[in-house]
Structure 1
């Protein structure tokens, strides 16, 4: 019989909490545990067998923290948990979690903390640090992104599978992926089923029994083990595979941003430690913080995080920056629903929405970034936004009572799937309009995975429990809807090629460069005059290329965005360009991207109903004392 190696206990240190391997080979263990119960450590041999139980002594307690130092322990031979009375406690500071490697399977008997720490060669990894104004975010769920049989990757539903899709993301020209929760959480939950009849279940004695059913928490917005990558999102080793994925994205000049949800019970110190850990250990580029009572002021002031993207609903800027101060690196950004709903209402032609839409398109504070989106993981997908007036969440098992009842959507005349050609054409045009409104707005656009090729969620606006084809991306649509995917790519390319569409500060509507044109101007049926009527649903926006960033070798072009969300054609005036230049149409959401020269003598254009057209200046301005040159 194999002898049990002797482990000697000595007084430990209360911080850091969790498992810490010391330079002398000893291990320090510390946890916040109750004082009125026996507490200790359970050591689980990796080769199997009963756990070793080591109790904390009274002298090992400092306040509510129990701590011990173990000498003679071979850290590689054990997994561990804490215990307090009869309760087994998985270490919230564990860097790895064992027992939840199989997605959607029952945990038995409990999760265990893993102390293993492996060296990783980051090679020459560097964070791209792309400014918000030059960024295009792409929000996705790691499992759902490649789980479908059509994904074509080897490691479906994993970090490695996501890395396999980097060439696709490069072709789309997004600059950052924003990942829904990838920290460890227990996705299998017990919930009470809805009563489908009037006969509740009873036990053998005839007493009513509360039924529970297992349900998948697909999204993961719950309290989790924040220091450990999710094991079921890996093939074998979540720590190694997540780091390899980040390194692969960085090698292609793309960033990795993580969503973290912190409920109220998570203390501020823990939140700060979590974010610091992922930035240091996993080289992530930013975090999208969710939840209440997040210490955003402390995070924003942390010297270590000043070049890490921090995204939240809002920040106390007056506490973070002295009056008038502009940060060296604009790393804070707001992400709220206002843009989404204002643009959706304008898109479907609601009254009195034009001015609000124009304000959202211009919003771009100098102190912080703004993340704009038309759709997100919650709510309708882009295809469903133009196909459903009402949510259809019956598959969630909650009698369609869950999810937001208000979506500011329009089904274009028919609820759900249809074969009517005119309806399908209108829906596609509205989808094109939505992306144009998003990508021609200042701020940082965020796409939701699958919207670029028309992914539908079958009208479900709250698929939080749908681990199936409702939430998995169907990659066959990249071929079926190739024309729309190509349009999305063209739109992104147009935005990225012209800095007038993505500047570092808000446009002023003034001619502060004294060049004869303001940086941005609005036009209606008459040039330089926007109709103020609440029934007005059309406007022309002219961006002056002379206000492009000064680090460019030359000025940008003039652009005129003609927007008409009315159902009937509308005429919009074209402002005069400098002598020697003329307007050329480069985009029309009623058809494909075109290159049609316009007569320089024409002073207006007629925009079809529910359509956006983009005109670009061509030719060179005639300078005084110089001959006129054409492009």
Structure 2
């Protein structure tokens, strides 16, 4: 042991040429000591030799990469091993037999010393502008496990993301940014372990910056970095879904994996109980300095050592809380805004939690893009045929400026979506009226009840060609609305392949073919995949210049005009009870014009097309009645089929 080289910061295990420094924040009554494991499973115990502001630290000579370690405390008169909150890797895949015991902790809670050096081969981050960003949300395992084009040795793993076939698919579809469901190590809830199931989505963190060993062949750290490097080489960003609102330790009576054993004040408490604003038993207290440090340090680590391009924050309202109140000017948001590393990356908020005043859509500070459930719900209701949604769909098309002013675009563009990991897939949205979650083991009681879906006559799969055709058109309607709205489009990876979860709208525990993307595509799925690829390219060509022109200080020079199908300007009374409209978007210099016409009615509607400002005619980009994009040209009028949307560009 060499005390002369010990240092309090950074926390965790920091490897040097002489050995390793170990540092941990600790304020609990039980003394803490360092455990170093030998290759044969035996271990040595070391005291911490120094202390600074509740941080215990020591330096151990001769420690090398891949050494396993943990922190020991005495709890209920038993020696309990704690996982390092700053662990960079885990020795074993987290798992235990309920109930969790001190004996089991000595296997589960082994952290691993990591050498942060990695050959990035000079690869730079893509730095995709927000207006050009196409988000694709996916699960590391589920995305490639069943893809026959991916090398079978890496399917379902981090390296599967780096496979040539996977990257080719992403590029063919026009995806700029992959948003990965949580990859930080996850611990499954006790009720799932008792049913021999897992938290497939990963929203129950046991460590904030150790990649989950479940998706690695041998080395999770190097394999995840390899995947990110190869995606970056192909100009594809990687955004991580992160969970900082709670941890896997649960609430009162829950397990002790690390934070509970080191400092009870990591968590919010109310009258001696763990405050539960997350629905998961506890809430991290970001107003507590060590908690804020833990979040900030681990976020920076992902950016600096994994070259991550951004984060999507689960239940992000929790991060802005001081008990019942949300404050967009709180310490966490200020810390991120001034951080020279984090202020450069994309920050996406799920802007709510389940606590008091938990719905905070539109309230996050500049630099944060927010997921828009308003867009999701409006688009679903409108295309399902619900009345009096025309004004609302127009508001969502224009970027939800009732929530965020265009003066704050592009850094405050909403993240628009139809489907997310929770809820129905796009295919199920047009195939099921009710949720079918029996496989989850909760008698179909779990999952959202407000799906705003329809089956168009048959619940689930059908061979009826009329129903199939209508379902496919509804998918095109919703995707066209998504892609030609002001905002950042968020797509679900399963939707590119028309994947069905068999009506399960809460597949969080389904590590099965319910969740794994099915790459065996029928005729309709193949057509939809090709169509969606063309539409994403059309958005980049035609919609992105419009978004850029309507953002920031130049927005006041641009023109927005709303017309009735007869070609008249929409009046106040026209918005009530109407089922069709025409939106004309015009950049002031006439270099770019876009026309969007919508028919929600059940009869064909003839539109008198407004005259382009500079060009002679309109060129049709798409009509959702058709499975292909188009270049047909029109001057005066256009007949739009029932329940359809068409997009035109002026040429």
Q: TM-score range by the shorter chain?
A: 0.7 to 0.9
Q: CA-to-partner distance for each residue in 1:494-537, whole Å, 9 max, x for gaps?
A: 111124565136479x9965xxxx53321112324236343222
Residue 354, structure 1, aligned to residue 390, structure 2? yes
- Per the alignment, residue 145 of structure 1 pairs with 143
Equivalent position of 1:240 in the other structure: 222
Distance 2:525 2:498 in 1: 7
Distance 1:545 1:587 in 2: 21
1:185 and 1:225 in contact (8 A); partners too: yes
Partners of 1:580 and 1:12 lie apart in 2 by 72
Distance 1:305 1:35 in 2: 31
Contact 2:30-2:73 at 8 Å conserved across structures: yes
Question: Contact (CA 8 Å) 1:443, 1:502: kept in 2 or not?
Answer: no
Instruction: Report which of the two has the higher share of helix.
Output: 2
- Are positions 1:97 and 2:139 aligned together? no
What is aligned with 1:342? Answer: 378
Pick which of 395-404 and 577-586 moved more: 577-586
State the SS of the aligned residue for 2:511: coil
1:67 aligned partner: 57
Normalising by structure 2, we get a TM-score of 0.81
Q: Within 5 Å, give how 1:417-432 maps onto structure 2.
A: 417-432=461-476
Structure 1 counterpart of 2:649: 616
SS of the aligned residue for 2:528 comes to helix
Deviation at residue 592 of structure 1 after TM alignment:
2.9
Shift of 1:580: 6.2
Output the CA distance in 1 between the equivalents of 2:479 and 2:628. Answer: 14
Corresponding residue for residue 159 of structure 1? 158
Query: Which of 520, 523, 528 is matched with 1:484 structurally?
Result: 528
Q: Separation in 1 of the partners of 2:632 and 2:431?
A: 35
Using the TM superposition, name which of 475-484 and 237-246 deviates more. 475-484
Q: How does 1:24-35 map to 2 (within 5 A)?
A: 25-34=18-27
The answer on 1:527 being equivalent to 2:567 is yes
TM-superposed deviation, 1:577: 2.6
- Alignment partners' CA distance in 2, 1:313 and 1:499: 25
Gapped runs of 5+ residues in structure 1?
Answer: 1-6, 194-211, 322-330, 549-554, 619-631
The 5 A counterparts of 1:157-556 are 157-164=156-163, 165-187=166-188, 189-191=189-191, 212-262=194-244, 263=246, 264-265=283-284, 267-291=291-315, 292-294=318-320, 295-313=332-350, 331-363=367-399, 364=406, 365-366=408-409, 367-477=411-521, 481-499=525-543, 503-504=547-548, 506=550, 513=557, 519-530=559-570, 532-544=574-586, 555-556=591-592
The Cα offsets for residues 67-124 of structure 1, whole Å up to 9 and x where unpaired, read as 2232x33334731111011111011111111111899999783231111315211122
Contact 1:287 1:310 in 2 (8 A): yes
**Cα root mean square deviation, aligned:** 2.9
Query: CA–CA distance in 1 between the matches of 2:475 and 2:444?
Result: 26
Question: Does the 8 Å contact 2:192/2:198 carry over to 1?
Answer: no
Q: Cα 1:235–1:122, aligned 2, differ >3 Å: closer, same or farther?
A: same
Which deviates more from structure 2 when the two are superposed, residues 157-166 or residues 263-272?
A: 263-272
How far apart are the structure 2 equivalents of 1:529 and 1:456?
Answer: 42
SS at match of 1:243: helix
CA drift of 1:468 comes to 0.5
Q: Is the 8 A contact 1:133 1:502 kept in 2?
A: no
Native 8 Å contact 2:546 2:587 kept in 1: no
CA displacement at 1:354 relative to structure 2: 1.0
CA distance in 2, matches of 1:306, 1:34: 31
Aligned-partner Cα distance in 2 for 1:565–1:89: 58
CA 1:529–1:19 in structure 2 vs 1: closer, same or farther (change >3 Å)? Answer: same
- Secondary structure of the structure 2 residue equivalent to 1:183: coil
> For the structure 1 residues 345 and 252, does the alpha-carbon distance in structure 2 shift closer, same or farther, using more than 3 Å as the test?
same
SS at match of 1:170: helix
Q: Following TM superposition, by how much is the alpha carbon of 1:249 offset from its aligned partner in structure 2, in angstroms?
A: 1.2
Partner of 1:50: 42
- Measure, in 2, the Cα distance between the counterparts of 1:120 and 1:470: 36
Whole-Å Cα distance in 2 between the matches of residues 482 and 421 of structure 1? 16
Cα separation, 2, equivalents of 1:538 and 1:104:
59
Q: TM-score, normalised by structure 1?
A: 0.83
* SS of residue matched to 1:587: strand
Asked if structure 1 preserves the Cα contact closer than 8 Å seen for 2:15 and 2:65, the reply is no
Change (3 A) 1:512 1:32: closer
Q: How far does residue 63 in structure 1 lie from its aligned partner after superposition?
A: 5.0
What are the Cα deviations for residues 401-437 of structure 1, in whole angstroms up to 9, with x where unaligned? 1011001112222221222111111000000101000
For 2:507, what is the secondary structure of its paired residue? coil
Does the 8 Å contact 1:344/1:409 carry over to 2? Answer: yes
**Is the Cα contact below 8 Å between 2:313 and 2:348 reproduced in 1?**
yes
Task: Give, in angstroms, the shift of residue 594 of structure 1.
Answer: 5.3
**CA separation in 1, counterparts of 2:483 and 2:596?**
12
Match of 1:184, SS state, is coil
The CA deviation at 1:243 is 1.3
Cα distance, 1:486 vs. partner? 0.9
Question: Which residue of the partner structure matches residue 128 of structure 1?
Answer: 126
Tell me: CA distance 1:320–1:493, structure 2 relative to 1, closer, same or farther (3 Å). closer
Q: Which residue of 2 aligns with 1:582?
A: 617
* Larger of the two Rg values belongs to structure: 1
